[in-house]
Amino acid sequence: MAFQPIYDAVAGRVWGYEALVRGLSGEGAFDVLSKISPEQKYRFDQDCRVKAIELASRLFPTGEELMLSINFMPNAVYQPAACLRATLLAAERCSFPTSSVMFEFTENEEVLDTAHLTNIITEYRKHGFTTAIDDFGAGHAGLGLLVDFQPDLIKIDMLLIRGIDTSPARQAVVAGIMGITKALDITVLAEGVETEAEFLVLKTAGIRLFQGYWFAKPAFEELPQIQSWPALNVTSAA
């Protein structure tokens, strides 16, 4: 697993880290997942969760309140309660609080059964986990999912972020998303931020949480330091 920081622009500190699947030779998540057969998805999903918790419990600074964001594949989850068993055991074994774990599912995987996904979210919340939609605004995840259920957080896809400082259309779409999420009490995170100009426009729009190469690239089995800029007054919790 590699870790990429999530920056809180209001608190001026690291809010948490996303655990990202990587191959031993640095292969990206797409390359790794392309080698996983449908029959292996459930086991792979379970192993990734456990690995992320084990590494985070070792890498996260003692006493710091940091979130660990883990991706999951909703179509690989059979029974939510049974699926969480290994996750809960790993958290207990590593003394890692469930309240510090966020599960995010990507829009790039079509949700075949909305009722099943709702059951998953309900079960996860029952155990204190935070829930999130990744890549919001692209793929299969969009406004329809917010109608069916409301996660705790959405991550705006980088396609809406890229060049937003010079795109009135993107600014209008993000403004609309901010209005909807405020009414539904959903936190917004902008992912894929690569320039200071993008960051400043998004921060002015009211977004608090950020992730992207402008802050730090993922680091393999270690916590990368956020680069420091006078405009941010960044202090890393790592």
pLDDT band at 222 (very low <50, low <70, confident <90, very high): very high
User: Is the model's pLDDT at 238 over the cut of 60?
Assistant: no
What is d(CA 226, CA 39) in angstroms, rounded to the nearest whole number?
38
What is d(CA 229, CA 237) in angstroms, rounded to the nearest whole number?
16
User: Is the model's pLDDT at 235 over the cut of 70?
Assistant: no
The DSSP 8-state label assigned to residue 226 in this structure reads P
User: Is the model's pLDDT at 236 over the cut of 50?
Assistant: no
What is d(CA 217, CA 233) in angstroms, rounded to the nearest whole number?
19
Give the pLDDT confidence of 111-163 residue by residue, as tens digits.
566 777 778 888 888 889 999 988 887 655 567 778 877 889 999 999 999 99
Give the pLDDT confidence of 160-198 residue by residue, as tens digits.
999 999 999 999 999 999 999 999 999 999 999 999 999
Count of beta carbons in the 10 Å neighbourhood of residue 94: 15
pLDDT band at 81 (very low <50, low <70, confident <90, very high): confident
The per-residue pLDDT for 26 is 79
Q: Which domains does the chain have, with CATH numbers?
A: 2-220 (3.20.20.450)
Cα of 103 vs its chain's centroid, Å? 7
Count the alpha carbons within 13 Å of 104 in the hemisphere toward its beta carbon: 28
The DSSP 8-state label assigned to residue 215 in this structure reads T
By C-alpha distance, which of 114, 118, 146 is closest to 133?
A: 146
φ, ψ for residue 40, nearest 5 deg: -95, -10
User: Is the model's pLDDT at 203 over the cut of 80?
Assistant: yes
Give the pLDDT confidence of 86-109 residue by residue, as tens digits.
899 999 999 999 999 999 986 555
Cβ pair 212, 36 in contact under 8 A: no
Q: Would you list the DSSP string of 158-189? A: HHHHTTGGG-HHHHHHHHHHHHHHHHHT-EEE
Compute the mean pLDDT over every residue in the chain, rounded to the nearest whole number: 86
Cβ pair 105, 133 in contact under 8 A: yes
- Average pLDDT for 217-234: 74
By C-alpha distance, which of 1, 31, 51 is closest to 220?
A: 1
